């Protein structure tokens, strides 16, 4: 495994480092996607820069612009003994390969009675804020979490991106690894080289006693900022980073909710039918009579992502909207 010299790195660097370390550790790890080799620029977001120079274009393969071909080849490679990491440039483009993802990658282990594993990672990025419009910035994690056989991961920090990607690569089931475009170049603590973050384990970012705030990916940073504002008002908020959407760590969330009695779930995806709805339903069932207020949910509007900058800004769950939901829950 490589050595991380710097104390701070960004998420794009953490992804690159995890891919490098995994490929150096295991020759069965291969990477494929559009423009990912160095001759084509090392990826649109430079997450694969330098890898083809180090490991060769046989293991770091730039593909045609065909999501079906990318995922189909990755599924076939996984069945043949490789550990492919397929890059789908933007999450909306995964819709083109839904048959391969949902009907093949997710179900082959079940349909073979456990005889066939599909150790496949599909990396993709998304996130509003860059004016990319309605076909490039949707959060679709709930779609894939709804499909049995797929693990869904959404890190919020460079260290977690590194550790979770390593865990996904060496997991024997298919994993959807969601990267947030606005977070790519935000610095954070460097990871411990080779240290894997377990899939399906949430992290208590900040302990508190008055209310539980649950989030993941970019929205977590807004939640943390709001929690700091609340602390100045004497409100003690416990902040939980889910890190993994499926499997969902309800044990950590429920324990916190039982302690505080109040919960707000915030995510960038639309509120309707989202991860927050699943968490709310489970908490209302398991803590019926214990909660002091209904679980509140904050998310994007039920709309395609707007191209207009003012509309796009209001489309995502702003800190003001998160704060309003918290105040209503506390009252």
For the annotated catalytic residues, the residue numbers are 136
What is the spatial distance between Cα 255 and Cα 251, in angstroms, rounded to a whole number? 6
What is the spatial distance between Cα 250 and Cα 284, in angstroms, rounded to a whole number? 12
Name 258's bridge partners: none
Q: Quick one: CA torsion of 245, 237, 9, 145, rounded to 10 degrees?
A: 10
Distance spanning both ends of the chain, measured CA to CA: 51
Largest interatomic CA distance in the chain: 61
Structure tokens at 90: 């933007």
Collapsed DSSP state (helix, strand, coil) of residue 57: coil
Listing DSSP states for 169-200 in one string gives HT-SS-EEEEEEGGGTT-EEEPPPTTPPPPTT
What is the spatial distance between Cα 326 and Cα 298, in angstroms, rounded to a whole number? 10
Residue 70 CB coordination number (10 Å): 26
Structure tokens at 236: 């003690």
What is the spatial distance between Cα 150 and Cα 157, in angstroms, rounded to a whole number? 22
What is the spatial distance between Cα 232 and Cα 166, in angstroms, rounded to a whole number? 38
What is the spatial distance between Cα 99 and Cα 96, in angstroms, rounded to a whole number? 8
């Amino acid at each position: 495994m490589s050595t991380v010299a710097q104390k701070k790195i960004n998420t794009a660097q953490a992804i690159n480092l995890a891919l490098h370390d995994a490929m150096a550790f295991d020759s069965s790890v291969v990477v494929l996607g559009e423009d990912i080799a160095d001759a084509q620029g090392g990826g649109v977001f430079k997450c694969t820069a330098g890898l083809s120079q180090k490991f060769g274009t046989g293991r770091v393969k730039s593909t045609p612009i065909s999501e079906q071909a990318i995922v189909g080849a990755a599924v076939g490679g996984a069945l043949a003994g490789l550990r492919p990491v397929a890059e789908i440039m933007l999450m909306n483009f995964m819709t083109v390969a839904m048959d391969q993802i949902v009907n093949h990658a997710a179900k082959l282990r079940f349909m073979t009675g456990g005889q066939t594993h599909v150790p496949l990672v599909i990396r993709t990025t998304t996130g509003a804020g860059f004016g990319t419009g309605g076909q490039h910035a949707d959060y679709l994690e709930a779609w894939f979490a709804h499909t049995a056989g797929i693990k869904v991961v959404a890190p919020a920090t460079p260290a977690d991106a590194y550790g979770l990607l390593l865990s996904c690569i060496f997991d024997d089931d298919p994993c959807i690894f969601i990267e947030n475009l606005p977070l790519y170049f935000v610095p954070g603590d460097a990871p411990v080289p080779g240290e894997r973050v377990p899939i399906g384990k949430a992290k208590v970012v900040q302990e508190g006693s008055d209310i539980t705030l649950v989030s993941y990916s970019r929205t977590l940073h807004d939640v943390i900022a709001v929690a700091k504002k609340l602390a100045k008002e004497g409100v003690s908020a416990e902040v939980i980073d889910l890190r993994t959407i499926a499997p969902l760590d309800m044990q950590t969330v429920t324990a916190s909710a039982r302690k505080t009695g109040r919960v707000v779930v915030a995510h960038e995806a639309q509120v309707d039918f989202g991860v927050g709805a699943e968490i709310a339903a489970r908490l209302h069932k398991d803590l019926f009579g214990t909660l002091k207020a209904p679980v509140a949910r904050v998310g994007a509007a039920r709309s395609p992502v707007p191209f207009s900058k003012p509309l796009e800004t209001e489309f995502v769950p702003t800190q003001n909207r998160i704060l309003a939901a918290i105040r209503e829950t506390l009252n």
